[in-house]
Amino acid sequence: MDRKGIIIVVSGFSGVGKGTLMKELVARYDRYALSISATTRDPRPGEVNGREYFFLTNDEFENLIRENGLIEHAGYVNHYYGTPRKFVEEQLDKGRDVILEIEIQGALQIKEQYPDAVLLFVMPPSASELKTRLEGRGTETEQVIAQRLNRAREESVGIENYDYIVINDDLDECVTRVDEIIRSAHNTPSRNLDYINEIRNELNEL
């Protein structure tokens, strides 16, 4: 069976722990690569260019857009965010599945260009648990928490656009489930047409 890489788009409510989940997934299994976004916002203390983000100037970013160098992009609070195409396609060619942590608008842009992409939505065990996690960070004001819960309400409308949901209750278990879901997605006929046609041809030649 041929092993071509798949694009895996991961979304989920703020506070659900999808960042930690994806880092753990990529650390545990060599077959995944985490896409790094480009942005025009300034680096925050501790952020490294090429690790958290590729930090670009406005001109550089707009050049990338013009050259079709981004597979999705969006503006957010006066800054651009986007996914560089080069890294994604290089990794796919190597047979790696590429994880993109983006929101639903980007997810739908990706699905249009790459119908084989798998969209995964990370869910909390319950809404009250989500609230507890947001409060537990201890870094957010009540107002920010309220905004995030509002955003979660809006995002929850789009869940049916995703191929799979996964519940992040126990991190370790959830990483295993995500890996199983992605590996299972490799087993659809549409992702194995070469192999299926090979068997057909071989059957005809027997």
Per CB under 8 A, residues contacting a second copy are 1, 121, 123-124, 126-128, 130-131, 149, 152-153, 156-157, 159-160, 162-167, 177, 180-181, 183-185, 187-190, 192, 195-196, 199-200, 202-206
Q: How far is the CB of 23 from a second copy (least distance, A)?
A: 21
Cβ contact 151:14 at 8 Å: yes
User: Among residues 81 and 121, whose Cβ is nearest to a second copy?
Assistant: 121
Q: How far is the CB of 33 from a second copy (least distance, A)?
A: 21
Q: How far is the CB of 6 from a second copy (least distance, A)?
A: 13
Task: Name the strand (E) or helix (H) holding 64.
Answer: helix 58-66
Give the β-pairing of 164-167 and 32-34.
unpaired
Task: Name the strand (E) or helix (H) holding 8.
Answer: strand 7-12
Q: How far is the CB of 113 from a second copy (least distance, A)?
A: 22
User: Among residues 76 and 195, whose Cβ is nearest to a second copy?
Assistant: 195
User: Among residues 88 and 134, whose Cβ is nearest to a second copy?
Assistant: 134
Place of tokens 């030649």: 205
Cβ contact 35:100 at 8 Å: yes
Q: How far is the CB of 58 from a second copy (least distance, A)?
A: 36
User: Among residues 34 and 166, whose Cβ is nearest to a second copy?
Assistant: 166
Task: Name the strand (E) or helix (H) holding 83.
Answer: strand 79-84
Residue 201 has, within 13 A of its CA and on its CB side, a CA count of 6
Cβ contact 36:51 at 8 Å: yes
User: Among residues 64 and 117, whose Cβ is nearest to a second copy?
Assistant: 117
Radius of gyration of the CA atoms of the chain, in A = 19
